[in-house]
Structure 1
Amino acid sequence: MVSKATATPALFLAFNLTFFILVSACVHCAPPPPIAPPPEATCPTDVLKLHTCANLLNLTGIDIGPGLKRPCCSLIAGLVDLEAAVCLCTAIKANILGINLNIPLSLHVILNACGRNAPLGYTCA
């Protein structure tokens, strides 16, 4: 037979174990919030102002210097690369630059002239 000396601690441990299991079980807990997809990048700049970027495509035959880069590059200076790419893509697709262009190539040329890069996996089609 089990002595009272071992039965009391065993009963105490069994009661505590049952109590902690019941307390830690969460019956009415709220489910974790769903993971939101990252928001789509938008252009925080007035796209109509980006018509100055046409000079960077060297369509006029004028040598590209710092003076021609300044108006376009200053418009995208405060943007991260993705925002800059979205803004320029929007301007090119909307034909704000005033000419029909090869969209991916034009985007690449303008971003490079301003010392920026298109984000990996970003396509402007």
Structure 2
Amino acid sequence: MGSKSVAFLLFLDLLFFSMATSNPLVPNFQPKCPDLRICANILLPPFIPDSNCCPLIEGLIDLQASVCLCSVLKLNIGGIITISLDILLNLQLNNCGRHKPPTYTCQ
């Protein structure tokens, strides 16, 4: 009888342990885009990337940096000028030593 109760208690311990460790206590952290207005200077001829933009995207991974920069470029262009935002985005990211993920397109 004693071995059955020990086995049952071990089963309960394993069950509760697995339930406790399957739900992480760390919240889902998604950094917000920093104020990247200075990065939109690339939209002005002669389309030279601004090195002051690099420290702003330093803490972001490449995909987050691409999405944030693309949204700033879209806002500042306002759909008035037809220019390839993807090329300008690549220029700015390459200037900062970053790379645009191959599957992401800024349109």
TM class, shorter-length? 0.5 to 0.7
1:89 to partner: Cα distance: 0.8
Instruction: Specify whether residues 80 and 22 from structure 1 end up closer, same or farther in structure 2 by C-alpha distance, changes over 3 A only.
Output: closer
Higher helix fraction (1 or 2)? 2
Matched residue count: 99
Gaps of 5+ in 1: 1-14
2:4 is aligned, of 18, 38, 56, to 18
Q: TM-score, structure 1 length as denominator? A: 0.53
1:40 and 1:100 map into 2 onto residues whose CA distance is 32
2:41 is aligned, of 23, 43, 52, to 52
Query: Is 1:88 the equivalent of 2:96?
Result: no
1:73 to partner: Cα distance: 3.0
The residue type paired with residue 32 of structure 2 is T
Aligned counterpart, 1:33: 23
Calculate percent identity across the aligned residue pairs.
30
Q: TM-score, structure 2 length as denominator? A: 0.59
1:97 to partner: Cα distance: 4.9
1:77 and 1:22 map into 2 onto residues whose CA distance is 52
SS of equivalent to 2:12: coil
- Contact kept? 1:50, 1:88, Cα under 8 Å: yes
Moved more, 82-91 or 22-31: 22-31
Instruction: Specify whether residues 73 and 97 from structure 1 end up closer, same or farther in structure 2 by C-alpha distance, changes over 3 A only.
Output: farther
Query: Is 1:122 the equivalent of 2:104?
Result: yes
2:64 and 2:31 map into 1 onto residues whose CA distance is 6
The residue type paired with residue 101 of structure 1 is I
2:43 and 2:55 map into 1 onto residues whose CA distance is 14
- Contact kept? 2:69, 2:89, Cα under 8 Å: yes
Moved more, 72-81 or 84-93: 72-81
